[in-house]
């Protein structure tokens, strides 16, 4: 039986179109990257996120022979930068330095968020974890974390703590501490980690929950007492500082994490390339040493592991936020 020439031509066209669809991502991935990559940082320049983003960008630029350009788009609790990422092309030429605020907290406190964490972003990897410490003013009659808890139990709602703002990861750290230890604290939000620490140094607030890098200069000057790391075990780089786990508050780990995500729909080979290269950058001796010296822990994962982590952290944040009645002001 002879095949109709018109049907044969149509069949060839259909096969060609199908091959084009199935091979295009592979071709794109094989040549990736062949031009500069935009790395959105949803915070103002000069912060800790900048240190991480610029460190990664520098290493990737060296490897790729094309610039990975950091683009600071701060504001609106990281929403401005995240929305840009959610609208970017899924081709691997735009990345976002996403934090816990972006991926886990905002979805639980912001109505009509212009992005969906699980729908719009492709997990690549975590980058660093910043464990929080609890530091008090020298006048607070507590020289250990157990003593601080005892003071809080004796005076419910009168022991205050400062954070960089309502619904920040630091605020959730305080709420989680209340949830796990049964104490009642007074939250005092500020606009940034610096002002939050300064309020404790000035004696207006009892203690601060923040990263070690923020309080270390004040601690060395005798203006703050660092009582504990908010973690199960002591930090290897600061072995003289106890952990909250030692004080009996099991399961309490508070800090913030940074990560890198792409646009959902980005070809998987490109995601895998970025995952491998970002992990290698973070583990390079110079960048790793610089980050660890200021209290950052390198934490990386496969895209699948990071995707599961995001889902779990979304659920945990929702639980803590609901329990504490946290609302974004």
Structural domains of the chain sorted by starting position, each given as residue range(s) with its CATH number in brackets: 37-129+257-324 (3.40.190.150), 131-247 (3.40.190.10)
Q: What pLDDT sits at residue 77? A: 81
Q: What is the pLDDT along the chain (329 residues), one digit of tens a residue?
A: 444 544 544 444 554 444 444 444 444 567 899 999 999 999 878 777 888 999 999 999 999 999 999 999 988 888 999 999 999 999 999 999 999 989 999 999 998 999 999 999 999 999 999 889 999 999 999 999 999 999 999 999 999 999 888 888 899 899 989 988 999 999 998 877 788 899 999 999 999 999 888 888 899 999 999 999 999 999 888 999 999 998 888 888 899 999 999 999 999 999 999 999 999 999 999 999 999 888 899 999 999 999 999 999 999 889 888 877 877 65
- Percent of the chain past pLDDT 70, that is, above it, reads 91
Give the pLDDT confidence score for residue 329 in this predicted structure.
Answer: 57
287-301: pLDDT as tens digits: 999 998 888 999 999
Task: Read off the pLDDT of residues 233-269 as tens digits, 9 standing for 90 and up.
Answer: 998 889 999 999 988 888 888 999 999 999 999 999 9
SS (H, E, C) the chain: CCCCHHHHHHHHHHHHHHHHHHHHHHHHHHCCCCCCEEEEECCCCCCHHHHHHHHHHHHHHHHHCCCEEEEECCCHHHHHHHHHHHCCCCCCCEEEEEEHHHHHHHHHHCCCCCCCHHHHEEEEEEEEEEEEEEEECCCCCCCCHHHHHHHHHHCCCCCEEEECCCCCHHHHHHHHHHHHHCCCCEEEECCCHHHHHHHHHCCCCCEEEEEHHHHHHHHHCCCCEEEEECCCCCCCCCCCCCECHHHCCCCCCCEEEEEEEEECCCCHHHHHHHHHHHHHHHCCHHHHHHHHHCCCEECCCCHHHHHHHHHHHHHHHHHHHHHHCCCCC
């Amino acid at each position: 039986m002879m095949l109709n020439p018109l049907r044969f031509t149509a069949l060839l066209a259909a096969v060609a179109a199908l091959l084009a669809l199935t091979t295009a991502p592979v071709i794109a991935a094989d040549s990736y990257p062949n031009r500069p990559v935009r790395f959105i940082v949803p915070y103002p320049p000069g912060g800790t996120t900048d240190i991480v983003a610029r460190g990664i960008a520098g290493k990737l630029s060296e490897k790729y022979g094309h610039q990975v350009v950091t683009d600071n788009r701060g504001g609106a609790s990281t929403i401005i930068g995240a929305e840009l990422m959610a609208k970017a092309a899924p081709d691997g030429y735009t990345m976002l330095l996403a934090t816990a605020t972006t991926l886990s907290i905002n979805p639980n406190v912001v109505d009509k968020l212009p992005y969906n964490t699980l729908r719009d972003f492709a997990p690549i990897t975590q980058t660093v974890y910043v464990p929080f410490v609890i530091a008090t003013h020298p006048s607070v009659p507590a020289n250990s974390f157990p003593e601080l808890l005892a003071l809080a139990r004796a005076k419910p709602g009168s022991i205050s703590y400062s954070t960089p703002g309502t619904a920040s990861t630091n605020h959730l750290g305080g709420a989680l501490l209340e949830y796990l230890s049964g104490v009642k604290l007074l939250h005092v939000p500020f606009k940034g980690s610096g002002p939050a620490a300064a309020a404790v140094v000035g004696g207006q607030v009892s203690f601060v929950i923040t990263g070690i890098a923020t309080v270390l200069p004040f601690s060395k000057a005798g203006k703050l007492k660092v009582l504990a790391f908010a973690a199960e075990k002591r930090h290897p780089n600061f072995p003289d500082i106890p952990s909250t786990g030692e004080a009996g508050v099991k399961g309490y780990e508070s800090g913030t994490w940074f990560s890198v995500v792409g646009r959902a729909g980005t070809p998987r080979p490109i995601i895998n390339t970025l995952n491998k290269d970002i992990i290698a950058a973070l583990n390079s001796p110079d960048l790793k040493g610089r980050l660890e010296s200021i209290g950052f822990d390198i934490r990386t994962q496969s895209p699948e592991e990071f995707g599961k982590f995001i889902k779990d952290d979304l659920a945990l944040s929702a639980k803590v936020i609901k329990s504490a009645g946290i609302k974004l002001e």
